[in-house]
Amino acid sequence: MRKKTLFVAVILILFITFLFFGAGISKVIGNAILDARAIFDTASLSLTILCNDSSIVPASGNLTFTEFCAYDTITEVIGADPGWEFNLGLYGGNYPPEWIEPEPIENETNDPIKYFELNTSTGSHEGGNYILYFNLSQNVLGSINPDNVSLFVYVTNWTELNTVVINGTSDPARFYSDLTHFSKFLIGEKPVVVTEEPPVYSPSPGGGGGGGSSTTKKNSSFSLDKDIIKVSMRQGDTKKEFIKIKNTDDVKLDIKVDLTGLEDFIIFPGGVGEYYFELEPGKEKTIQLIFSVSSDQKPETYFGKIVVNSGDLKSIITTILEVESVNAIFDVETHISERFREVPAGGILVAEVSLFNLERVGLTDVLVNYYIKDLEGNIILQEQETVGVETKVSYIKEFDIPIYLKTGDYLLYVSLDQDGIIASSSHAFKVVEINNLEWILSANGGLFFLIGTVILLLLAVLFMIHEHRKLNMLHKSIKKIGAKEMKKKKLIK
């Protein structure tokens, strides 16, 4: 009886361990594989095509084109499903005559550089998360600032995609863009944004109007086009960013834009540190921000706020400035796919980290530091490791988010240190609430639930063993003393 009880208990524990631990492993592995979706569109070979390449995605999900003419511009696609066959048609700066889509107009792109078509022949795939790396030689760039280069995709019009400059000073300059599908693309210069000069208007000390015609409501209403700005710069760089403010009220507003925490890095046009203006009902104004980093600025992340006030209403744009060494021969890139940009407290944040040896100086060990920070710059979590880099290394990095962490916006900051020369990259994510069932099904939640279940089962087994021993001792007593004597002593009825 005792052996049978122990056998059943052990089998039960092994089964539950396999069930939950196996599910946790499959969840983590599944999460580490980027989802792959695309739109299939058969590409025809153009008479004006400069290069054509067909390649199949390997098991890693990261595709590198084999033809040099293709690899010279489109270097890599990350996040596709293994086995997909890609067709790449690369054109020059002239619009392909056989394309039926309309050419980009002035407010869509300022200067087309290269057109290309990238499709998969494995069916219709849409709504995925992919990364496309591309290069442009300094000769092709000419006078175009790399910060003004973007990838555009045709949907119903030519739409600008999120594009990051990996290294704008190298030759070729290196970029990457986030994609949701595959179609017809354009590498081009961003459209010119026309901004107004700072107005002469200056409000009274009490924050009232600047003239007799101004009518300001105490509880005014306006909207901003963004709530966070993240800028990456090298020592000695200057860069421009823009915010749009719209008057959603029915009267003219007096608006003040102020800087907090980044006064040493940002000014408005004209060199001023504060910006005042009036905004008519329903009108929108674009404000230019000029970021400037001194040549001896310490490489680090800097946090601040852009504060927009009107009457009693105040809106804040969280601003993150990431400063890198000017002479870095290594670079780092951090990417969090869309499915991991919201993670529960106690969950796992999964990020893809890529390290680049820009000068290809041979296999070199570099120190990689990982930080999770809140938007005040406080460090929540910190890790460090040494990684060898010969040309490029990409890997998946997981971080256990503390169970006590409050919901809100956070930043994953990765810095690469090579003999004191710093390159860095960062990506924002959110910590969100999670219900009990979702927490149990998560990787960390499943682990805690598993441990709790095993403990309860062990307690149950110990209790069963204890009861079995008592019963066994009772049987032995009956055999030894005899049932009659037991009755006399009132030990049994």
308-317 tens-digit pLDDT = 988 888 888 9
Give the confidence band of 385 by pLDDT, cuts at 50, 70, 90. very high
Mean predicted lDDT score pLDDT of the chain: 77
Give the confidence band of 382 by pLDDT, cuts at 50, 70, 90. very high
Distance of alpha carbon 100 from alpha carbon 102, whole angstroms: 6
Q: Which of 42-46, 88-92, 453-457 has the lowest mean pLDDT?
A: 42-46
User: pTM, whole model, 2 decimals?
Assistant: 0.48
Q: What is the pLDDT, as a whole number, of residue 5?
A: 55
Distance of alpha carbon 363 from alpha carbon 392, whole angstroms: 10
The CA-based dihedral angle spanning residues 390, 394, 396, 397, taken in that order and rounded to the nearest 10 degrees: 50
- Cite the beta strand spans of 261-312 per DSSP E: 266-267, 275-279, 284-292, 301-310
Distance of alpha carbon 266 from alpha carbon 256, whole angstroms: 16
- Residue 193 scores a pLDDT above 80: no
- Residue 139 scores a pLDDT above 80: yes
- Pairing relationship of beta strands 301-310 and 342-344 according to DSSP bridges: unpaired
Give the confidence band of 26 by pLDDT, cuts at 50, 70, 90. very low
Backbone φ, ψ for residue 436 (5° rounding): -60, -40
Distance of alpha carbon 230 from alpha carbon 319, whole angstroms: 6
- SS3 of residue 351 by DSSP: strand
Distance of alpha carbon 399 from alpha carbon 380, whole angstroms: 11
**Residue 194 corresponds to which amino acid?**
V
Residues 290, 195 contacting (CB under 8 angstroms): no
- Residue 160 scores a pLDDT above 90: no
- SS3 of residue 90 by DSSP: strand
The predicted model gives 450-469 an average pLDDT of: 79
193 vs 332, more confident: 332
Give the confidence band of 287 by pLDDT, cuts at 50, 70, 90. confident
Give the confidence band of 370 by pLDDT, cuts at 50, 70, 90. very high
- SS3 of residue 42 by DSSP: coil
The CA-based dihedral angle spanning residues 179, 181, 185, 187, taken in that order and rounded to the nearest 10 degrees: 0
- Residue 219 scores a pLDDT above 70: no
Provide the token pair at 326: 């000017």
Distance of alpha carbon 303 from alpha carbon 318, whole angstroms: 8
Residues 57, 81 contacting (CB under 8 angstroms): yes
Give the confidence band of 27 by pLDDT, cuts at 50, 70, 90. very low
Q: What is the pLDDT, as a whole number, of residue 351?
A: 93
